[in-house]
Structure 1
Amino acid sequence: MSAPTNPYLVLGAAIVLPASGHVILGVPVRGLQFLFFMVILAWVTAKIAPADASFVGRHAGGFLIYALSILDAYKIARVRTATWVHGARAGSDSAQSGIEPHT
C-alpha cells in the first residue's frame, strides 16, 4: 500500500481552492457536494442578510460550509495517514513475531 497524501498538502489546497482537497484525496463528488451547498447557502444568506451587512456577513452560510469543507478534507487525510502508519506498524510487529497480520 502506498503512502497517503500529506495532510498538510490537502489542508493547504483546501484553503486555497474550495473542494480541491477532496479532489486530491480522490473523493471529488464529496468536494462537489460541499461546493453546491456553499453556493446555495451563500445565496440564501445574501437574500436574508440586511443591506448594510459586510460581504462576509451577507455570505456567511457559504463561508460556514467552506470552513467545514476545509476541516473535512483535512480530517480525511489525517485518518488515512494514521491508518496507514498503524497498518505499517502492525505489519512490522507481526513480521518480527511471526504472526500473520489481520486483514
Structure 2
Amino acid sequence: MTDRIAEPRPYRPLIVGIVAAGLTGMGQVLNGQAGRGLMMAFTALSLAWVSYNLTTPEHSFVGRYAGGFMIHAIAFMDALREAKFRWQIWQRDHG
C-alpha cells in the first residue's frame, strides 16, 4: 500500500479562467482557496463602492467602478496562475 493520500484532480486552467472572468473570487474557490476568493470578492465590492462615491456622474461606468474592476483583474490573474500551477503539479505526479 502507499502512504500517499489521493488528491482530487484539479480543474483545468481554461475552466478556472472562464469562471474567474465572470465571477470575482470564484476562480479561487475552484482552486480550493475559498477564503482568498471571499477576500477578493469583498475587496472588489468595497473598492467599487469607494470609487463610485469618489467620482461624479460625468465619469463613465468603468471609471465609476474602477476600483472593483482593478481587483477583479487581479483576482482573475491570480486564479489563472494558481490553476496552471496546480494543473502542472497534478500532471507531473499522475502523468
TM bracket (short chain): 0.7 to 0.9
Structure 2 residue aligned with 1:80: 86
Structure 2 residue aligned with 1:41: 47
- Which amino acid is 1:19 matched to? G
Q: Distance in 2 between matches of 1:2 and 1:47?
A: 44
Structure 1 stretches of 4+ with a deviation exceeding 6 A read none
1:23 Cα deviation from its structure 2 partner:
1.4
Mark the runs of 5 or more structure 1 residues left unpaired by the alignment. 90-103
Q: Distance in 2 between matches of 1:45 and 1:76?
A: 28
Q: How many aligned residue pairs are there?
A: 89
Structure 2 residue aligned with 1:14: 20
Structure with greater helix percent = 1
Structure 2 residue aligned with 1:94: none
Q: Deviations over 1:17-57 (max 9, x none)?
A: 22221111111110100011101111111111233001110
Structure 2 residue aligned with 1:51: 57
- Which amino acid is 1:36 matched to? F
Q: Percent identity, please.
A: 36
Mark the runs of 5 or more structure 2 residues left unpaired by the alignment. 1-6
Q: Distance in 2 between matches of 1:48 and 1:82?
A: 43
Q: Distance in 1 between matches of 2:43 and 2:22?
A: 18
Q: Which moved more, 1:35-44 or 1:18-27?
A: 18-27
Q: Distance in 2 between matches of 1:32 and 1:80?
A: 20
RMSD: 1.5
Structure 2 residue aligned with 1:97: none
